[in-house]
Each structure stands twice: as C-alpha cells, then as structure tokens.
Chain A
C-alpha cells in the first residue's frame, strides 16, 4: 500500500529505540567494560584480557558454575520430570482437570522472593516448619542450611516454582495430538503405559526439547532464591549472585561485566549443546 514505508519506520521505531538504549547498547557496553579494570564509574583503566585471565583462575567462579550446573541438573530431572509426569496423569483423567491445572500453576505466579521467604520460614533451625515437624516425631533437629544441605535446600523452591509452567506447556502439547492416534492405539489393544511411552512422549518430543532448553537458560538466571535464602553462603553461590556481588557489592564493574559475558557465552553454549543432543525432527500433524 502507498505510504507503507512511513508506517513501517514509524511503528518499529519506538520499540527499536528502547531496545537499543536499554538492551543492545548496554550489552555491547558490558562487552567493552569487560576489558577494563574499574572502581565505580569514574576510575577506568584498559587491561586487555586480564579480566578474562582472572575468570579462568577464579576458584569462586568455578564453584559458582558448578553450583549452577548442579541446580540445572535438579531442574532438568525434577522440574521437567515432575511436570511431564503430572501432565501425563492429568491427560489421562477425566474429572477435575481444570482444578489441577489451576492449582499446579499457583507457584508460577508468585514472586521468587516471596517463595524464598516462605522457605526461610520452613528451614529456620529453631522455629521452622520442617524442624517443627521433626520435633513432632521426636527426631533431632536438622541444620537445613549448612554446607551439606544448603544447595539442595535452595534447589527445592527453585524446582517447585516452575513445575506448573512446564506442566501446562506439556499438557497443551498433548492436547494437540489428534485423537485418531489414540483410537488406533486402542484398537490395537495397547496398554496405557505403552501408549504414554510409545505414543504421547515421542509425539511431544519437540516440546520436551523446548522445555529443557528453557529450563537450562532459566537456571542461569536463578537469583532470588539463593539471594534471599542463603545470600550465596554455605556453598550455594550461583553465577547470578556472584555477578551481583562482583558488580554491585564490590563495585567492580569491569570484572562484573566479564562474569556477565561469561554467563551469556555459557548459556548459549549449553543451549546449543542441548539442541544438538536432543535433535529431533519437528512433527506436524
């Protein structure tokens, strides 16, 4: 149509502007800052690859990476796993479907901070819910947030938070499978278990792949849970909290930016690997 070009530019410009100013420019500025040694915003000195060299010898960063990977493992196994099991079950029942769908989604809408505080109350040594419960059965109290348990303790709310999200995604994918597949399976006399493992799961494989990728990239962003529950102490430091501490607490913007770039590269790498490993042909009905 006539004059379309004007509208194309006009309509795209505001979005492009705000994303350039608050996303692309800062991203490249971070890249730039990662080559500087800084204290605050004003004292800045070019140091070349020094920050990156530090990156590879930084034991704390290595630990944070390992902790992040451990949480990632729990997230893939339990978050995605539980979501898949729940979706299969709900797909197989006839009553109360929408009730379960609504209720399972509850934690997703709640802020990670609120959930974290809730778990602070659960894990409290003297008065927490868990130790209260143990006391009921005359079992000795447990230090839930010591070196041994803390990482698992912060993983539980992290996993629990988003199960409902992936559950709904899986359920949606399942509802898109044409019913004649199931009718054919029924005629063949295939059991419900076989139907799930041989039919449903292979058919939603592409969605499982998407969800695993989302889970992996999502875990890199974990921040609230660790920050509120342990502030990264007792072996729970993750990449998010470490970056925050370096950049905002220590005011070391140069190295903080380097850590951030490392996180991006790490995330992209993991996503690519996941995509490779889980490669499957897209199924269209």
Chain B
C-alpha cells in the first residue's frame, strides 16, 4: 500500500510546481506591461522637477532635489492656469449638456413606444460613423457666422453633438432595464413625465450617468482636433491645444515640456484613480458596443 501513496504524492507535487511556473510567467508578463504604463508617467513627472540641462543629460536619474522652476515657468510664461480653466469650463459644459439632452432623449427612447422609434435608432447607429473630419468645415463656417468661434460655446456645441449619440445609446440601454412597476407607481402618485424623469429615472440611472460622464469628459478634455480649429485663441485655448503650441514654440525647453505634460496628465489620472470603478462598470454594461 505504502509505495502507491508515495507515487501519488509525487505526481501531485510535480503538477503543482508546473502550475506555479506558468503562474509566475503570467505575473511577470503582466508586471512588465504595467511597467510600460507606469514608468513613462514616472519618467515625465520625475523630469519635470529638473532643469532642462539635467533632463537632457541624465533623464534617468531620480531628482532628489526637485527644482520648481519649470512649474513657475508653466504658470507665468505660458499661462497654463488659464488653459486649465478653459479646459474645465468647456469639458464640464459639454458633459452637462450631453447628460441632460442625452438623458432626456434616452428616457423617451427607452420607455415610450411610438412610431419612428426604430428609425431614430437606425439614425443614431449611423451617426456613430460620422467622424469629426466630415463636419468640421461647415461647423467652422457656422461658428464664424454666429460669432461663436473662439468662445466656450464654440467647442461645447460641436462636442456635445459629437458625444450625444454615444451617451444616448448607453443611457437608453440602461434605462430600459428599469422595471415598469416603478414608473406605474410614480404615475399613480401623480408624477408627470418630467418629474418622473428627474425623481425616478435620473437617480436610478446614476451609475450609467457617471460612466457616460467620465467618457464624455475624457474625450472632450483630450480632443485636440476640434480645439485646434474652433478655439485656438489664447484666451479660450484648452490645455491640449496649449501643449501642441508648446511643442512647436518651446520644443527645446525639455523641463518645461515635461512639466506641461505632467500638469495635463496628473489631474486626470488622480480623478481616474478615484472613479476607475465606474469606468469598468460603464464598460461592463456594454457601454461601448454601439
């Protein structure tokens, strides 16, 4: 009896060890990839605390004595604070409008039955195929004619239109899962449609509103193409357009460039770390399937 038991024991051990090696390989691969996403960020932030000469000569060294001259320059010379404010105003404006208009449209599309609904859905799906390139010239003309070019609305309106389809489809998908009984109960209590939207559907749909707003914010904040065309004046220029400007004007001031990139990236990353849960959730709900 005894020998058989020993043999069994051995095979089990071998199996276990092999399993462990493959697991170790998996962790190594995953960690290597995470280094590609973490190290560049560390590199850029680290270099933002060095004078340009040190960035050039020794970009790997850790800046144990951080200098803040680049940060000073960023705020004084290239007025990065102004661009921050512009970016935030325009991106939040876009998010607000997209959620409001998209939410209302999504509510109707998900809860009402009416003729032409299927057509509207088909149009919405087709709309996803229209890139910004195909609308930019006429929109630019329109903005000039209405003197909205180089104003905050000059970016908010086109970006709202561009993001509405995505938001509407995602929110509608979520709202259609809300049970009908809730609606009926609210109606019994004398809610009209607007109240029902504000008091029932918006609160219940909070997760999808959150994830949609994150994506809309991200796409709006990061959109260089529209910014270059619609809001390129210094007083309204968002931060990505400023970055583009810096690379052509101060391309040799590496410290300043590192700082500008850090300043653009860090706030978004911090916000992301707090809300990453919602992003994953938003994607989980089949958000981007449109």
Contacts and interface: CB of A to CB of B under 8 A. Distances in A.
Interface stretch (A48-56, A65-73, A261-269): A261-269
Interface string A89-110: 1101100100111111111111
Contacts of A244: 133, 225, 228
A257 B260 CA distance: 34
Nearest 9 pairs of A and B residues by beta carbon: A22-B161, A111-B222, A26-B138, A29-B138, A127-B56, A26-B135, A15-B105, A7-B193, A11-B104
A100 B120 CA distance: 39
A187 interface: no
A271 B138 contact: no
A60 interface: no
A89 B196 CA distance: 45
A248 B224 CA distance: 14
Given A26-B142, A112-B224, A129-B59, A100 B30 contact: yes
A118 interface: yes
Given A26-B142, A105-B276, A121-B257, A19 B36 contact: no
Contacts of B158: 22
B42 to A, nearest CB: 11
A25 interface: yes
Contact of B265 (A22, A99, A110, A239): A110
B110 to A, nearest CB: 11
A217 interface: yes
Contact of B264 (A82, A111, A160, A228): A111
B222 A112 contact: yes
A224 interface: yes
10 contacts: A1-B193, A4-B114, A8-B108, A86-B30, A90-B30, A102-B276, A121-B258, A228-B247, A260-B136, A264-B131
Nearest to B100: A14
A18 B142 CA distance: 13
A164 B280 CA distance: 11
Interface string A151-173: 00000000010001000110010
A244 B232 CA distance: 14
Contacts of A268: 129
Contacts of A29: 137-138, 141
Contact of B284 (A107, A118, A172, A257): A172
A137 interface: no
Interface residues of B, number: 92
A221 B131 contact: yes
B29 A168 contact: no
Interface stretch (B1-9, B19-27, B72-80, B174-182): B19-27
Contact of A12 (B108, B133, B157, B288): B108
A107 B23 CA distance: 26
Contacts of B228: 244, 248
Given A8-B112, A107-B37, A93 B134 contact: no
A112 to B, nearest CB: 6
A108 B276 CA distance: 12
A19 B269 contact: no
Given A86-B30, A114-B240, A118-B40, A23 B127 contact: yes
Interface in A212-230: 214, 217, 220-221, 223-224, 227-228
Indicate the member of B127, B133, B135 with the most A CB atoms within 10 Å. B133
A104 B35 CA distance: 9
A36 to B, nearest CB: 11
A200 interface: no
Contacts of B222: 110-113
Contacts of A117: 243, 246-247, 257, 260-261
> Which of A5, A19, A160, A192 gathers the greatest number of chain B CB atoms within 10 Å?
A19
Interface string B26-46: 110110011011101101100
**Listed residue (B38, B130, B251) with the most chain A CB atoms within 10 angstroms of its CB:** B130
B107 interface: yes
Given A15-B164, A224-B240, A244-B228, 9 more contacts: A14-B100, A18-B157, A27-B138, A114-B243, A120-B257, A127-B254, A221-B133, A227-B244, A267-B129
